[in-house]
């Protein structure tokens, strides 16, 4: 029963966790501040929002002031003169009808909506990456603890096998087998400790620092099926709210508007323009004796495109082809999201069944180990049988922990695929892990 006590001690150690350890919600919030990938996405969003005022500027007045001064030298026959001319002016241009500029404003609005969807998708991706890194470290911690437990149990079997061989109740085969298993357990422990350090460093990439510790899985987590428990309902939700589909749909809208914008190149444009100028020119004094003159003008400019060498037609054809591509991209995004939602939904439901099966298997295999140890003590089983049973207990424990973490991750992936993953979901998972 020593191995059973070791397993109980391991469970208690895993449940306790280090003092002041970070939980999943803390890791997510820290990553939201420190992760360079998400911060870059935020900066890209801020840059994209500037496209809207830039587009609006194409339909707003353009006002400019100018000041010039020139030193002039004139020679004519026996006449020679040096003089200075100065000009102070203000010009105003106001588009009245430029359909291309108006369409560009609508395109910029769709670009901003698209950027919002991209940023929201980036935040969901951060939640998944933080959760994956968190559970990777927890699983690596579990593996190290299990390796240490297994090594201790095998060491006890090795010592007992040596004693039995010395008193003649066992053969050297049992001792050699136990020694081989012990050496393997040492190698596995080294591998697991190195893997834990690798996983911790992966978490550091998100946070920019190594946390003091992580709150481990409390125990058996609640196995809750997706809500609603209907795959087709999730697929329909994803088609409406998935950020991947939203980005693709906005891209199609922008492409359709681009076709209209390029076709507007065939249309005339109408602009209002005006200017005020004050000129100081000593050579053209009007009236005589005054070098200063004021020149004011205002008027409309109608421009009608007639022929541009086929450039406008080519741009229209290009825009139509890009619109058709955007249509296919939207269809592809819709199908991929539906496939991702279906896979995640099935993984969640299958994960529930797998965790329950492994929980039952853990009870059965532990009973088998206890029976095998008892059988060895009465002479009907060998030490090799005990070693095999112990290895099965450890492997089942590893599989169970991994299945629990995978179930939680698949639940988060399902919500992300449907565009439903929020911080509230991370909080709910965090509470469930703490209660487990």
- Tens digit of each residue's pLDDT (9 = 90 or more) over 227-240: 999 999 999 999 99
CA distance 126 to 136: 15
- Whether the CB-CB separation of 269 and 302 falls below 8 Å is answered with yes
In the prediction, which pLDDT does 409 show? 96
Q: Is the pLDDT of residue 248 over 50?
A: yes
In the prediction, which pLDDT does 8 show? 41
In the prediction, which pLDDT does 289 show? 56
> What CA dihedral angle connects 187, 193, 194 and 198, to 10 degrees?
150
Least confident of 81-85, 95-99, 280-284, 422-426: 280-284
Strands (E), 9-97: 62-76, 79-97
Q: Is the pLDDT of residue 281 over 70?
A: yes
> Taking residues 88-96, what's their average pLDDT?
95
In the prediction, which pLDDT does 387 show? 86
In the prediction, which pLDDT does 288 show? 55
Burial (0-12, 13-18, 19+ Cβ within 10 Å), 137:
buried
In the prediction, which pLDDT does 11 show? 43
> Taking residues 156-180, what's their average pLDDT?
84
Q: Is the pLDDT of residue 290 over 70?
A: no
Distances (CA, A) of 204 to 200, 207, 300: 6, 5, 63
pTM of the model: 0.85
Q: Is the pLDDT of residue 15 over 50?
A: no
In the prediction, which pLDDT does 5 show? 45
> Taking residues 319-326, what's their average pLDDT?
98
Q: Is the pLDDT of residue 414 over 60?
A: yes
* Model pLDDT for residues 181-201, shown as the tens digit of each residue: 899 999 999 999 999 999 999
Mean pLDDT, rounded, of the chain: 90
**Two tokens at 282?**
């000593």
CA distance 66 to 61: 17
- Whether the CB-CB separation of 248 and 330 falls below 8 Å is answered with yes
Q: Is the pLDDT of residue 9 over 50?
A: no
> Taking residues 375-384, what's their average pLDDT?
82
In the prediction, which pLDDT does 16 show? 45
In the prediction, which pLDDT does 376 show? 81
In the prediction, which pLDDT does 357 show? 96
In the prediction, which pLDDT does 423 show? 95
Please indicate whether residue 82 or residue 426 has the higher confidence score (pLDDT). 426
Q: In what order do the strands lie in the sheet with 79-97?
A: 62-76, 79-97, 269-280, 292-303
**Two tokens at 113?**
């909506």
CA distance 32 to 218: 25
> Taking residues 141-152, what's their average pLDDT?
93
Least confident of 141-145, 344-348, 378-382, 386-390: 378-382
The torsion angles phi and psi of 212, rounded to 5 degrees, stand at -60, -30
Q: Is the pLDDT of residue 374 over 50?
A: yes
In the prediction, which pLDDT does 382 show? 80
CA distance 150 to 7: 9
Q: Is the pLDDT of residue 303 over 90?
A: yes
* Domain boundaries defined on the chain: 2-60+98-265+310-435
In the prediction, which pLDDT does 279 show? 87
Confidence of residue 83 (pLDDT cuts 50, 70, 90): confident
In the prediction, which pLDDT does 140 show? 96
Please give the share of the chain, as a percent, with pLDDT higher than 90. 72
Q: Is the pLDDT of residue 427 over 90?
A: yes
* Model pLDDT for residues 95-104, shown as the tens digit of each residue: 999 999 999 9
In the prediction, which pLDDT does 205 show? 93
| Domain 2-60+98-265+310-435 -> CATH class | mainly alpha
When computed from its CA atoms, the radius of gyration of the chain, rounded to whole angstroms, is: 38
In the prediction, which pLDDT does 217 show? 76
CA distance 286 to 241: 71
In the prediction, which pLDDT does 12 show? 43
> Taking residues 272-280, what's their average pLDDT?
91
Please indicate whether residue 406 or residue 217 has the higher confidence score (pLDDT). 406
Q: Is the omega angle on the peptide bond into residue 287 within 30 degrees of 0, that is, cis?
A: yes
């Amino acid at each position: 029963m020593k191995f059973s006590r070791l397993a109980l001690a391991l469970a208690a150690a895993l449940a306790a966790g280090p003092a002041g350890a970070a939980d999943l919600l803390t890791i997510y919030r820290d990553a939201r501040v420190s992760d360079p990938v998400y911060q870059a996405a935020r900066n890209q969003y801020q840059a994209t929002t500037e496209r809207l005022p830039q587009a609006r500027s194409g339909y707003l007045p353009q006002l400019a002031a100018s000041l010039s001064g020139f030193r002039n030298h004139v020679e004519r026959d026996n006449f020679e003169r040096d003089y200075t001319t100065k000009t102070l002016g203000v010009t105003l241009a106001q588009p009245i009808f430029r359909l291309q500029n108006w369409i560009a404003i609508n395109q910029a609005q769709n670009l901003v909506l698209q950027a919002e969807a991209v940023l929201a998708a980036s935040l969901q991706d951060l939640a998944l990456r933080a959760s994956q890194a968190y559970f990777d470290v927890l699983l690596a911690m579990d593996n190290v603890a299990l390796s240490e437990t297994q090594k201790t149990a095998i060491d006890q079997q090795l010592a007992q096998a040596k004693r039995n061989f010395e008193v003649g109740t066992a053969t050297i085969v049992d001792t050699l087998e136990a020694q081989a298993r012990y050496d393997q357990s040492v190698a596995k422990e080294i591998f697991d400790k190195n893997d834990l350090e690798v996983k911790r460093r992966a978490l550091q990439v998100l946070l920019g620092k190594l946390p003091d510790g992580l709150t481990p899985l409390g125990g058996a987590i609640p196995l809750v099926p997706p809500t609603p428990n209907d795959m087709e309902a999730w697929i329909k939700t994803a088609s409406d709210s998935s950020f991947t589909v939203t980005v693709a749909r906005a891209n199609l809208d922008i492409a359709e508007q681009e076709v209209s914008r390029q076709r507007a190149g065939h249309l005339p444009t109408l602009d209002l323009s005006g200017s005020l100028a004050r000129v100081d020119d000593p050579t053209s004094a009007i009236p005589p004796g005054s070098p200063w003159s004021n020149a004011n003008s205002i008027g409309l400019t109608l421009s009608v495109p007639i022929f541009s060498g086929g450039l406008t037609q080519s741009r229209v054809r290009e825009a139509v082809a890009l619109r058709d591509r955007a249509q296919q991209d939207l269809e592809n995004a819709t199908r991929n999201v539906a496939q991702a939602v279906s896979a995640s939904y099935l993984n969640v439901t299958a994960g529930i069944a797998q965790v329950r099966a492994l929980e039952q298997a853990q009870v059965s295999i532990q009973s088998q180990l206890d029976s095998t140890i008892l059988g060895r003590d009465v002479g009907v089983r060998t030490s090799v049988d005990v070693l095999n049973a112990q290895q099965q207990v450890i492997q089942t424990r590893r599989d169970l922990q991994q299945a629990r973490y995978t179930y939680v991750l698949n639940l988060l992936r399902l919500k992300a695929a449907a565009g439903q993953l929020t911080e509230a979901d991370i909080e709910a998972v965090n509470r469930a892990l703490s209660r487990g």
